């Protein structure tokens, strides 16, 4: 695909990255987890309420549905999600690469030609997936930087600082505050499930003791024993699924990273503000490029090596 400008290429890859992310998260990952949980619900129902189910449902419908749901979960998490994840990471990588290049070209700054420093943890085959497309390389070759003697230092500084502000806002509002809220919410529900499970285990023991002692109460309310059996089977997988989401997200780690990156952007801001000539400004811009792309490559490497199907 041919692009006339960097901003046109950025808009294309950014849009595609969002599309693949929604496909990966909403259609595959959550659907895979959902299929697994529904399968557990059916299994729990079959075990706890077997005596109340019609023979066709107990012997054919529910077992068949369980098998299909488990198979669907494996396909969604192990195959479809992985493919969509790779496509998402590719387009997000190219979009972020273009984001900082668009900043440079809009201000007439020379492009950084230093090779991207992928982490050693990323396999060679994975690095191939993230090679910059040839059409973007051609776009770079056609770009001619503005001569330094016509630089408007004030305008370039303002543009670079505006970019830094947007990145700091992203890390503060989207990542740090957003992740803290998600983390607290999920931790709350994990505690609720844990306490409920403890109560259910105690209740199940009490009901079973009543059944053993032939208590009239439990014989009149046998559904209570069945319900506790259902919950004892269902709650642990539910807890494990939420733990899987917690594991995959690693909110604490990402919050710490964003806090450090926010500070580093502040240091780069100072370098830009203190630049007195084009050479100093170009050096400060290089620092901004290295920080932005270094942060992105770290994220890319972490996300690529995170296997959701290994946990859920």
pLDDT tens-digit readout, 45-71:
999 998 888 999 999 999 999 999 999
Higher pLDDT, 74 or 258: 258
* 312: pLDDT strictly greater than 80: no
Average pLDDT over residues 28-37: 88
Q: What whole-number distance in Å separates Cα of residue 4 and Cα of residue 15?
A: 17
Q: Where are the domains of the chain?
A: 6-310
Q: How many other β-carbons are positioned within 10 Å of the β-carbon of residue 22? A: 12
Q: 93-139: per-residue pLDDT in tens?
A: 999 999 999 999 999 999 887 656 555 444 544 555 688 888 898 89
Length, in residues, of the chain: 312
Distant-in-sequence, close-in-space partners of 127: CB < 8 Å, separation ≥ 6: 118
Residue 117: per-residue pLDDT: 56
* Terminal alpha carbon distance of the chain: 37
Query: Tokens 């002692």 belong to which residue?
Result: 213
CA atoms within 13 A on the CB side of 13: 27
CB 127 within 8 A of CB 87: no
What is the maximum alpha-carbon separation in the chain? 96
* 309: pLDDT strictly greater than 60: no
Residue 114: per-residue pLDDT: 60
Higher pLDDT, 121 or 10: 10
Q: What whole-number distance in Å separates Cα of residue 289 and Cα of residue 271?
A: 13
Query: Tokens 């984001």 belong to which residue?
Result: 99
Q: What is the pTM of this model?
A: 0.82
* 10: pLDDT strictly greater than 90: yes
Q: 249-300: per-residue pLDDT in tens?
A: 889 999 999 999 999 999 999 999 999 999 999 999 999 999 999 999 889 8
Q: What angle do CA 23, 237, 194 make, to 5 degrees?
A: 115
Q: What whole-number distance in Å separates Cα of residue 33 and Cα of residue 40?
A: 11
Residue 149: per-residue pLDDT: 77
Higher pLDDT, 184 or 82: 184
CA 148 → CA 156, 281, 287, distances in Å? 12, 10, 18
Residue 311: per-residue pLDDT: 43
Q: What whole-number distance in Å separates Cα of residue 196 and Cα of residue 284?
A: 55
Query: Please, what is the angle between helix 278-305 and helix 153-169, to 10°?
Result: 20
> What proportion of the chain, given as a percentage, has pLDDT over 70?
93
Residue 178: per-residue pLDDT: 95
**Chain center to CA of 293:** 18
């Amino acid at each position: 695909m041919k692009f006339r400008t960097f901003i046109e290429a950025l808009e294309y890859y950014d849009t595609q990255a969002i599309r693949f992310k929604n496909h990966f998260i909403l259609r595959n990952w959550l659907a895979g987890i959902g299929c697994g949980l529904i399968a557990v619900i059916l299994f729990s129902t079959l075990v706890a309420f077997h005596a109340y189910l019609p023979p066709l449902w107990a012997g054919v419908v529910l077992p068949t549905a369980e098998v299909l749901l488990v198979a669907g979960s494996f396909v969604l998490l192990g195959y479809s999600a992985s493919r969509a994840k790779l496509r998402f990471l590719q387009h997000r990588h190219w979009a972020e690469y273009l984001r900082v290049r668009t900043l440079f070209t809009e201000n007439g700054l020379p492009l950084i030609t230093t090779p991207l420093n992928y982490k050693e943890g990323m396999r060679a085959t994975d690095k191939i997936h993230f090679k910059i497309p040839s059409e973007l390389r051609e776009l770079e070759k056609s770009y001619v930087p503005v001569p330094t003697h016509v630089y408007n230092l004030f305008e370039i500084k303002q543009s670079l600082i505006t970019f830094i502000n947007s990145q700091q806002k992203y890390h503060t509002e989207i990542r740090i505050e957003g992740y803290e809220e998600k983390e607290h919410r999920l931790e709350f529900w994990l505690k609720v499930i844990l306490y409920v499970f403890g109560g259910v285990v105690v209740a199940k023991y009490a009901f079973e003791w009543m059944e053993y002692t032939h208590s009239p109460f439990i014989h009149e309310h046998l559904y209570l024993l069945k319900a506790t059996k259902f919950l004892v089977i269902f709650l642990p997988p539910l807890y494990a699924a939420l733990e899987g989401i917690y594991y995959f997200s690693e909110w604490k780690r990402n919050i710490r990273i964003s806090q450090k990156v926010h500070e580093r952007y502040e240091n780069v801001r100072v370098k830009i503000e203190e630049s007195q000539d084009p050479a100093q400004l170009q050096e400060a811009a290089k620092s901004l490029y290295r920080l932005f792309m270094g942060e992105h490559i770290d994220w890319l490497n972490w996300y690529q090596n995170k296997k959701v199907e290994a946990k859920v």
